[in-house]
Structure 1
C-alpha cells in the first residue's frame, strides 16, 4: 500500500520525502558559501585596501550575497516532490511550451539578425562590427550543432 509520510509537510520542502526540512541545510550552507564569496571578493585587488576594515568589507559582501547563495543551495538540495503546490511534470506545462517556443523563435531571429547585420555592416561600418556579428553567428551555429548532435544520440 501507499504509505504517507508521518512528518509534517513543510512550506519549502524537504531534502528527501522523509528527510529534514530543506531550509535546515540550505541556510547554514548558504551562509558558509556567502562568507567564502565575501572573503574571496574582499581580497581581490579591485578594492582600495585603506577604505575600511577588511573583515567589515567581507561581512558586507557576504550579507549581500547571502540570499542568493541560500536560494542556490536550497534549489540544489530540495526534493521537488516535497514542496507543496508543485506539479509532477513541469516540462509538460503550458509555460514550458511557451518557453520552448520563445527559445526557438529567439534563436532563429538571432541567426537571421546577425547574418543580415554582418552583411549590412560590412558596407557601412568599421570592419570590427561585422567581424563581431560573424563571431556571434558562428558561436550560435556551433552551439546549435553541438546540442543537436548530443540530443540525436539515443
Structure 2
C-alpha cells in the first residue's frame, strides 16, 4: 500500500482496535462520560461540607470528563489508524533520546539512593518515608529531564 493511500485510510481521531471501522471517539466519549459520572457520584457521596452533594457531583463530573474521555480513547484507539502517527515511534530520534535519558536516569537513581541509604544507615538519621519517596521522585524526574534535554541538544 502506498504512503498516500495509507494516509487516506487514517483519520484524525483513529478507529477502534482490531480492524474495526468504528471511530474510536464514538465509543470513548460515552465510556468517559460513564466514568466521569461515576467519579461525580462517588465524590458527592463522600463529600462532607455545606456544599450540596448534587453540585459537588456535577462539578467533579464536568472537571474529570475530558481526562476520562481521553483516557478511554487512549485504550481504545488503534495507532495505525491515526493520521500523522509514526508507524514505529520507538525507532524515532525522540525515542532514542527517551531511551538514553531513561537508562541514565535509572543509573542515577540507583547511585543516589544507594549513597543516601548508606549515609542514613551510618549516621543513624531517620527521615519520614514520604520525604524519602518525594526525594527519589525528584531525583528521577530531574535526572531524566536533564538527560533528555542534553540528548536533544546533541542531536
TM-score by length of 2: 0.70
Task: For structure 2, list consecutive stretches of 5 or more residues without a partner in the other structure.
Answer: 137-155
1-side partners of 2:119 and 2:41: how far apart? 48
Superposed displacement of residue 9, structure 1: 4.8
Larger radius of gyration: 1
1:48 and 2:43 aligned: no
Which residue matches 1:114?
113
Secondary structure of the residue aligned to 1:19 is coil
Q: CA RMSD in A?
A: 3.0
TM-score by length of 1: 0.70
Task: For structure 1, list consecutive stretches of 5 or more residues without a partner in the other structure.
Answer: 138-154
Tell me, yes or no, if the aligned pair for 2:9 and 2:81 is still in contact at 8 Å.
no
Counting matched residue pairs gives 129
Relative to structure 1, the CA distance from residue 129 to residue 69 in structure 2 (aligned partners, 3 Å threshold; closer, same or farther) is: closer
Tell me, yes or no, if the aligned pair for 2:36 and 2:62 is still in contact at 8 Å.
yes
Tell me, yes or no, if the aligned pair for 2:10 and 2:80 is still in contact at 8 Å.
no
2-side partners of 1:118 and 1:124: how far apart? 10
Query: Which runs of 4 or more aligned residues in structure 1 lie more than 6 Å from their structure 2 counterparts after TM superposition?
Result: none
Q: Going by fraction, where is helix more abundant, 1 or 2? A: 2
2-side partners of 1:128 and 1:33: how far apart? 39
1:64 and 2:57 aligned: no
Which residue matches 2:40?
38
